[in-house]
């Protein structure tokens, strides 16, 4: 049987990064081909090349027997490649039909829209999918699952032969997933080839025919979904060698429990999460994207409201409703998105470090600039922030130095519980180890550190204990150091039904 798509020897470079190295991938008609890999393995980049969003720097892309190089999503669509992004891109106030035919609406004379034809054509597509939906229903009133169906219908309306689905079940419940799988099986029967990107192991067994695994921008291998055990697929995903020496987990003994969270809840995002951290401990939070780790951090910090849960700081229950309550309790949060949530980028280093402590420098509302300058210069020295001066705008600093500015902000505020969300995102390798050292020093000084990271090596490198989340639930807490392998973590991170395996060192 001839392939719909064959990608061979694909290379892609981004400034400073070799994103794809000699990657291969193919799709046959009527199959579901799962593409697996950790965050950053290169799955999305590969699919963006296939769908015309990026251009390859090397290798060959053959569609229907012809070598092609689509340079826009439109060209890829014309070649029969449809993509459904993880974040739906529908216009909520338009109807399903209007969304599907946006930009190519059937017209009557004088540019008038032919709504009747629009709805009729949409109804035809829905019928071919065995989908019972009214074309005139506003998309905003549909459930996420139904909206996904509209996206699929839209892709099919381009007569797509290949459909790329990027984590289609991320926002769906079990019933909705079943509904989606019915549609997918129908498409298979029609001969459509489906690329299925997902992190959920149990889904593979249900829906996929073949599985291709990528790691660090490289092709690892392709196996049959039915006959390959999940443990083997996980091993393929994480199989890189860990070149760090194993972490020495310090014995904290009966050090004070500085933060204790019990029964934290927030809608579907956080479901009954409980854990505690000791003074001087680094607790890592592992999990795949969307597991709810950032949500837990934001809820503890008061950035988002929580539905329930008790937060105790140094043994005292504290009522945290806003970030300013959290800061008063001594909790600081370093967001994964420094630009949007961490820094006032237009302002200088001094102002950013002092941002949450301006009252310390205020004499009757008047700022003592000299004191601010000397304090911030001390932090610049202590943390080794590379900046020409403390009046340099922070947007001109490198990522690592920006991160240090945010750390300085919380140290100045005297926060002793620090939550780092993806502390090294967008930071180059050299600066990473500097940040790691800084975190270890802070823990040794008696600060309590929580690190959220999607990079397993980073979690393994830093954590004294490792909390793992999946779909809003805490699926287990593992010991740090050499006793825990990446496979152990991945097992918990993909464990959909709670079979809690908690290895608590503190009760």
Partner 1 sequence: MTSVTDVNEKSPLANMGSSGAYQKLLAFASLIALLIGFSIASPNFMQTSNMIAILQATSVNGVLAVAATLVIITGGIDLSVGTLMTFCAVIAGVVLTYMGMPLLLGVAAAIGAGALCGLVSGTFVAKMKIPPFIATLGMMLILKGLSLVISGTRPIYFNDTPGFDQISRGSLIGKVIPSLPIPNGVLILFIVAIAAAYILSRTVLGRYTFALGSNEEAVRLSGVNTDVWKMRIYALAGGICGIGGILIASRLNSAQPALGLGYELEAIAAVVIGGTSLSGGRGTILGTIIGALIMAVLTNGLRVLSVAQEWQTVVTGAIIILAVYADMVRRKKSG
Nearer to partner 1, 65 or 365 (CB): 365
The angle that helices 399-412 and 369-383 make with each other, rounded to 10 degrees, is: 120
In angstroms, what CA-CA distances link 137 with 156, 253, 360, 445? Answer: 19, 61, 56, 59
User: Which of these segments, 27-35, 176-184, 195-203, 364-372, binds partner 1 (CB under 8 A)?
Assistant: 364-372
**Is the CB of residue 319 less than 8 Å from the CB of residue 329?**
no
Closest contact distance (angstroms) between CB of 171 and partner 1 is: 23
In angstroms, what CA-CA distances link 84 with 164, 169, 176? Answer: 6, 12, 17
User: Which of these segments, 26-34, 272-280, 378-386, 479-487, binds partner 1 (CB under 8 A)?
Assistant: 378-386
Q: Does 384 bind partner 1 (CB under 8 A)?
A: yes
User: Which of these segments, 47-55, 179-187, 342-350, 454-462, binds partner 1 (CB under 8 A)?
Assistant: 342-350
Q: Does 397 bind partner 1 (CB under 8 A)?
A: yes
Q: Does 371 bind partner 1 (CB under 8 A)?
A: no
**Is the CB of residue 303 less than 8 Å from the CB of residue 325?**
no
DSSP 3-state assignment of 185?
Answer: helix
Closest contact distance (angstroms) between CB of 284 and partner 1 is: 22
Q: Does 433 bind partner 1 (CB under 8 A)?
A: no
Which residues, in sequence order, are bridge partners of residue 308? 265
CA angle, residues 205, 34, 21, in degrees to nearest 5:
140
Q: Does 24 bind partner 1 (CB under 8 A)?
A: no
Of 40, 114, 230, 341, which one interacts with partner 1 (CB under 8 A)?
Answer: 341
| Beta-carbon contacts of residue 232 (< 8 Å; ≥ 6 apart) | 223
Percent of the chain that is helix, strand, coil (3-state, to 5): 35, 25, 40
Q: Which helix (H) or strand (E) segment is 173 a member of?
A: none
Q: Does 425 bind partner 1 (CB under 8 A)?
A: no
User: Which of these segments, 31-39, 102-110, 356-364, 459-467, binds partner 1 (CB under 8 A)?
Assistant: 356-364
Q: Does 15 bind partner 1 (CB under 8 A)?
A: no
DSSP 3-state assignment of 468?
Answer: strand
Of 122, 387, 424, 486, which one interacts with partner 1 (CB under 8 A)?
Answer: 387
Q: Does 198 bind partner 1 (CB under 8 A)?
A: no
Nearer to partner 1, 64 or 398 (CB): 398
DSSP 3-state assignment of 208?
Answer: coil
Nearer to partner 1, 107 or 382 (CB): 382
471 φ/ψ sector (left φ>0, alpha ψ -120 to 50, else beta):
left
Report the relative pairing of strands 66-67 and 58-63 from DSSP bridges.
antiparallel
Of 362, 433, 500, 503, which one interacts with partner 1 (CB under 8 A)?
Answer: 362
Identify the residue whose tokens are 């705008």: 393
Between CA 234 and CA 478 the distance in angstroms is 18
User: Which of these segments, 156-164, 185-193, 206-214, 381-389, binds partner 1 (CB under 8 A)?
Assistant: 381-389
Q: Does 269 bind partner 1 (CB under 8 A)?
A: no
Of 343, 405, 435, 438, which one interacts with partner 1 (CB under 8 A)?
Answer: 343
Closest contact distance (angstroms) between CB of 346 and partner 1 is: 4
Q: Does 375 bind partner 1 (CB under 8 A)?
A: no
Site residues (CB under 8 A) for partner 1?
301, 303, 322-324, 326-328, 332-333, 335, 340-347, 351, 354-356, 358-359, 361-362, 365-367, 369, 377-378, 380-381, 384-390, 392-393, 396-398, 401, 409, 413
């Amino acid at each position: 049987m001839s392939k719909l798509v064959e990608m061979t020897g694909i290379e892609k470079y981004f400034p400073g990064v070799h994103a794809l190295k000699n990657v291969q991938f193919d799709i046959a008609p009527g199959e579901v081909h799962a593409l697996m890999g950790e965050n950053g393995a290169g799955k999305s980049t590969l699919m963006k090349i296939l769908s015309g969003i990026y251009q390859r720097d090397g290798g060959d892309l053959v569609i229907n027997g012809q070598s092609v190089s689509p340079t826009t999503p439109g060209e890829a669509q014309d070649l029969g490649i449809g993509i459904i992004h993880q974040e739906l891109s529908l216009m909520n106030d338009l109807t399903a039909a209007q969304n599907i035919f946006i930009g190519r609406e059937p017209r009557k004379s004088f540019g008038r829209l032919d709504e009747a034809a629009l709805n009729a054509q949409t109804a035809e597509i829905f019928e071919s999918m065995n989908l019972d939906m009214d074309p005139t229903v506003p998309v905003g009133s549909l459930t996420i699952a139904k909206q996904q169906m509209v996206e699929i219908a839209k892709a099919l309306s381009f007569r797509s032969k290949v459909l790329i689905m990027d984590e289609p079940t991320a926002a769906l419940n079990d019933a909705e997933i079943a509904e989606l799988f019915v549609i997918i099986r129908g498409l298979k029967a029609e001969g459509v080839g489906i690329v299925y990107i997902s992190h959920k192991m149990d889904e593979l067994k249900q829906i996929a025919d073949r599985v291709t695994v990528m790691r660090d921008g490289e092709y690892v291998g392709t196996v049959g979904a039915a006959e390959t055990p999940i443990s083997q697929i996980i091993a393929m995903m994480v199989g890189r060698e860990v070149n760090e020496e194993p972490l020495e987990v310090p014995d904290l003994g009966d050090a004070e429990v500085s933060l204790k969270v019990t029964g934290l809840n927030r809608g579907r995002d956080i479901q009954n999460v409980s854990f505690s951290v000791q003074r001087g401990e680094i607790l890592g939070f592992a999990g795949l994207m969307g597991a709810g780790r950032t949500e837990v951090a934001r809820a503890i910090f008061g950035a988002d409201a929580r539905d329930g849960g008790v937060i105790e700081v140094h043994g005292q229950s504290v009522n945290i409703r806003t970030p300013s309550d959290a800061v008063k309790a001594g909790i600081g949060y370093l967001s994964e998105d420094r630009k949007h949530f961490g820094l006032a980028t237009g302002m200088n280093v001094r102002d950013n470090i002092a941002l949450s402590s301006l009252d310390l420098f205020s004499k009757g509302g008047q700022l003592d600039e000299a004191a601010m300058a000397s304090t911030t210069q001390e932090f610049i020295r202590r943390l080794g922030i590379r900046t020409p001066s403390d009046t340099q705008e922070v947007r001109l600093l490198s990522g690592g130095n920006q991160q240090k500015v945010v750390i300085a902000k919380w140290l100045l505020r005297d926060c002793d519980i620090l939550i780092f969300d993806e502390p090294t995102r967008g930071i180059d390798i050299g600066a990473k180890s500097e940040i790691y050292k800084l975190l270890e020093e802070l823990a040794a000084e008696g600060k309590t550190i929580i690190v959220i990271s999607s990079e397993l090596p980073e979690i393994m490198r830093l954590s004294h204990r490792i909390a793992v989340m999946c779909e809003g639930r805490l699926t287990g807490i593992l010991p740090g150091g050499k006793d825990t392998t990446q496979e152990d973590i991945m097992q918990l991170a993909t464990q959909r039904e709670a079979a809690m395996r908690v290895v608590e060192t503190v009760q």
